Structure 1
Amino acid sequence: MTRLRLRQLVIAAETSEVADQLQSVLDLGEPFADPGVAEFGLENAVFAIGDQFLEVIWPVKDDAPVQRFLKRNGEGGYMAIFQTDDIKAARARLDGAGIRRVWNIDLDDIAASHIHPADVGAAIVSLDEAHPWESWRWAGPHWESNSIEGELSGAILESPDPNALASRWAAALGVPASTHPDVTRIQLEDDQTLVFQPGEETKLEGFCITLNSAMKALERADKLDLHSNGDGVHIGGVRLVLNNEA
C-alpha cells in the first residue's frame, strides 16, 4: 500500500517578519534558507518540528508568482507538501484524472510534482518522494540538529462547499474522504488529519501543531501582541491550532 503523510506546510507572507514571529512564538530552531526558491522570485525560511517542516516564503521580485496570491488573498496558507513512496504512481494517477502538474523535478534524493491550485482549490498541493524516506532536501543539510520536539498533526481547510473541496483533494492525494454530519476529513499516515469545514472563502485556514508546551507558545504570542484565543494564534494569515504532546 502506498504511504502518504503530511511533511511540510507553507505560509505566503509579505516580508520575513512572519518567519520571525513564527520562530519566536513556537520557539523554533534556526531556519534553512533555500537558495533554490530564487527561481520563483522568493526568499524563505524552513523550520523543523520533529521530522516535519513549517516554511514561510516571501517575494523579493515584483513578478514573483506568489504576488498574485498575496494580492488576491493577503498573507495565508499557500502550500501543503505530502510525502509519498511512489511518485511514479502518483503522477500517473494525476495525469489520468486530468489534474494538472505545473512543476516537476527529479533529483537523486527527491522527486516532486506541484499540482495546479485551480485543480484542487485552497492551496498548491505537492507530492514528493524522498530517498531515503527520512531525508528532506528542502529543509537543508542540518535540519535534524535544528529541530524542536513536536509534529504537524494536520491542516484545516475552509470552503463554501467543503465536501466538493475534500473530493478534489482526495482525488489528488489518492486517498478517500469521509463525511460526517458536521465535517469532512481525509485521514493520512501517523494519525494526521485534513479537516474540511464550511467557510466564506476557499482557503488553507489552519495548521494543527503539537508541541511540548502549547501554553508557553500562547504566552509568547501574547507578549508580541499577536491575536491568540483558546488553543490558537494567528500568524501570517494562518490560524495555528496548538496542542500539547501526550
Structure 2
Amino acid sequence: MTNGYKLRQLALVARDLASVEADLSAIFGLEVAYRDPAVAKWGLENIVVPVGNQFLEVVAPTRPGTTAGRYLDRRGGDGGYMVILQTEDPRGRDARVAGLGIRTVHQILHSDYDGLQLHPRDTGGSFLEIDWAPGFAQPDGSWHPAGENWRTARRTEVATGLLAAEIQTPDPGALAARWSAILGRPTDGQSIPLDLGTLRFAGDQDGRGEGLGGIDIAVADKAHVLREGERRGRLAGKDMLLIGGTRFNLIA
C-alpha cells in the first residue's frame, strides 16, 4: 500500500514579518488566518495564510539566539524554511523514522494533531515535518497549525493552491532517495509525487546552499500577480517572483 501524503504547509523565515505579509496580501490576494501565540516560547512570531486548502506560514525571530535567526544568518537572509506534510499513517511514519535512525527535533501532540519535526542534519535538504490530522480524505480537512477558523480566511480569487516544493541541494538524486526512504514513496531521482502536490529536488539555484528554494503556486489571475509583483519589485524572471527570499513559480 502506498503511504498517503499531502503537501499541506510550507514555511518561510524572514527578518521582517510585516513586509512578507504585505507582499502575500497584495500580490496573491491572501489573508492571514492565524497568528500562533505558542511560537513565542521559541522567540518567534508567525502568520499562517491559507492557499486553497494548503498553507503558507512565515516565521520571524523576535529575539537573538533563535534557531530561525541562525538559519537566516547561515543562508544569508530570508528564505524557505520548512516542508510540512500531512500523513494518513503516523505509526508508519514513526517506524520509518526510527528505522532510519533519524532524530526528532520536536513532537507536537494535540487531540486532533500529531506533528513530528525531523532533524535537518539527518534528513538533508530542509526542515521536514510530517504531521497527522483527521480527515485526510477531505480536501479541506482540519489543520491545527492554522487555527479553527481558517476556512473563513480562505481567498482563492488570485491564488488557489501549492503545487510543488523545490528543495535545492548539491546532490538532488541522493536527497530524493533519502526522502523517498523517509516517506516510503517512490522517486524518479528528481521528484516524489504526493497525493496532493509534489516534492522536487534540484541543484543549488542561488548559491545559498541547501534549503527550500522554490514554490510552484497555482494562480487563477496571473495578470494581477505579475502586475502587483512588478509594482512591489518582486519580479525575478519570466513567471517567477521572489518573496521572502523564496522563488514563487507561477502556474496558470
Q: TM-score, normalised by structure 1?
A: 0.93
Which runs of 5 or more structure 2 residues have no equivalent in the other structure?
Answer: none
Aligned ranges 1:87-166 → 2 under 5 Å: 87-133=90-136, 134-149=141-156, 150-166=160-176
Of all paired residues, the percent bearing the same amino acid is 36
- How many residues of Structure 1 are paired with residues of Structure 2 in the alignment? 239
SS in 1 for 2:188: strand
| Cα distance in structure 1, aligned partners of 2:66 and 2:210 | 22
| Cα distance in structure 2, aligned partners of 1:159 and 1:97 | 20
| Cα distance in structure 1, aligned partners of 2:22 and 2:181 | 35
Tell me the amino acid that sits aligned with residue 69 of structure 1.
Y
Aligned twin of 1:46: 48
Aligned twin of 2:5: 4
Aligned twin of 2:201: 196
Deviation at 1:228? 3.2
SS in 1 for 2:216: strand
| Cα distance in structure 1, aligned partners of 2:57 and 2:104 | 21
Which runs of 5 or more structure 1 residues have no equivalent in the other structure?
Answer: none
SS in 1 for 2:82: strand
Q: Between 165-174 and 202-211, report the one with greater CA deviation.
A: 165-174
Deviation at 1:169? 1.6
Deviations 1:133-157 (A, max 9, x none): 3101101121101112211111112
SS in 1 for 2:217: strand
Aligned twin of 2:235: 227
| Cα distance in structure 2, aligned partners of 1:103 and 1:76 | 21
SS in 2 for 1:24: helix
Deviation at 1:116? 0.3
| Cα distance in structure 2, aligned partners of 1:38 and 1:164 | 36
**2:50–2:56 contact (8 Å) kept in structure 1:** yes
SS in 2 for 1:170: helix
**2:126–2:167 contact (8 Å) kept in structure 1:** no
Deviations 1:50-69 (A, max 9, x none): 11000110000112211110
